[in-house]
């Protein structure tokens, strides 16, 4: 699977390319509460002081769905370092001891190379955003 890799202190997050609609340079002007977008700051989620450099717009589950309603899920992240091919089988499942935590909902797998690479569960963010939008 092709992924975008975002670097954090001590680990990488792999975001599957097939779940990404677009990647943009982050501009604080984009953050407008009136547009009904759901913004998720990955550095803030991990209590990190990393600078946000990119916004990553996730695709809606139904690719035919109209994207013009301003109801998008946008991940705010550090700089997207690169894209890379990582085979699904290289990712190990998240340990069962973490199944009851938010961590296991956020990530669907982990790969250990020079530093851990966590595979983002983009469905979690999209489903969460859809629930908030319909509430």
Summarised one tens digit per residue, pLDDT across range 116-130 is 999 999 888 888 777
How much of the chain exceeds pLDDT 90, in percent?
31
pLDDT (mean) for 30-53: 80
pTM above 0.85, yes or no: no
Mean pLDDT rounded to a whole number for the chain: 82
Asked if the model's pLDDT at residue 25 lies above 90, the reply is: no
Residue that wins the pLDDT comparison between 117 and 39: 117
Confidence of residue 135 (pLDDT cuts 50, 70, 90): low
Residue that wins the pLDDT comparison between 15 and 37: 15
116, β-bridge pairs: 112
- The SS3 assignment for 43 reads helix
Q: What is the pLDDT of residue 94?
A: 80
- The SS3 assignment for 8 reads strand
pLDDT (mean) for 35-53: 85
133, β-bridge pairs: none
Residue that wins the pLDDT comparison between 65 and 19: 19
Domain boundaries, the chain: 2-134
Instruction: Give me the sheet containing 38-41, strands edge to edge.
Output: 20-25, 54-58, 73-77, 38-41
Q: What is the pLDDT of residue 113?
A: 86
């Amino acid at each position: 699977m092709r992924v975008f890799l975002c670097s954090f202190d001590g680990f990488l997050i792999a975001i599957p390319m097939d779940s990404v609609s677009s990647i943009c340079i982050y501009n604080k002007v984009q953050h407008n509460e009136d547009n009904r977008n759901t913004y998720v700051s990955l550095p803030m989620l991990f209590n990190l002081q990393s600078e946000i450099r990119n916004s990553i717009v996730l695709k809606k589950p139904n690719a035919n769905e109209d994207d013009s309603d301003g109801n998008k899920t946008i991940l705010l992240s550090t700089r997207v370092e690169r894209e890379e091919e990582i085979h699904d089988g290289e990712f190990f499942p998240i340990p069962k001891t973490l199944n009851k935590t938010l961590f296991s909902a956020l990530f669907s797998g982990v790969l250990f190379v020079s530093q851990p690479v966590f595979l983002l569960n983009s469905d979690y963010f999209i489903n969460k955003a859809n629930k908030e939008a319909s509430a």
